[in-house]
Amino acid sequence: DIQMTQSPSTLSANVGDKVTLTCRASQSIRNWLAWYQQKPGKAPHLLIYKASTLESGVPSRFSGSGSGTEFTLTISSLQPDDFATYYCQQYNSYPWTFGQGTKVEIK
């Protein structure tokens, strides 16, 4: 199975900060990577697919990059609505797997 490792586990930041979340795959997944945002008590919400394609309706302050085994999700200017947990997920090979999540909290 492909293991997905996210770092950091928790990130403390202020509104307006630029934040970068990292996701590493245990083997190459080409660019078959998605990012999700989840708020407490809610279902996850797709942000990015194919490593860098912004889902329709997602604010442009979110961006994704990377290929192979190293990927990043960047929020250019953190907004109050962005405090949440973020997950990466590979869909290169079965079983599809998620990272353990990065919680973005208010500093």
Partner 1 sequence: EVRLVESGGGLVQPGGSLRLSCIASGFILNSYEMNWVRQAPGKGLEWISNISSSAINTHYTESVKGRFTISRDNAKNSVYLQMNSLRVEDTAIYYCASGLYFRHWGQGTLVTVSS
Residue numbers at the binding site for partner 1 (CB under 8 A): 1, 34, 36, 38, 43-46, 49-50, 55, 87, 89, 91, 94-101
- Under 8 Å CB-to-CB from 41, ≥6 apart: which residues? none
Nearer to partner 1, 16 or 43 (CB): 43
Nearer to partner 1, 17 or 93 (CB): 93
What are the phi and psi torsion angles at 34 (to 5°)? Answer: -125, 155
Nearer to partner 1, 38 or 65 (CB): 38
CB of 59 to partner 1, least distance (A): 17
CB of 9 to partner 1, least distance (A): 11
Which sign does the torsion angle of CA 76, 81, 84, 88 carry? negative
For residues 30 and 23, give the distance between their C-alpha atoms in angstroms, rounded to a whole number: 13
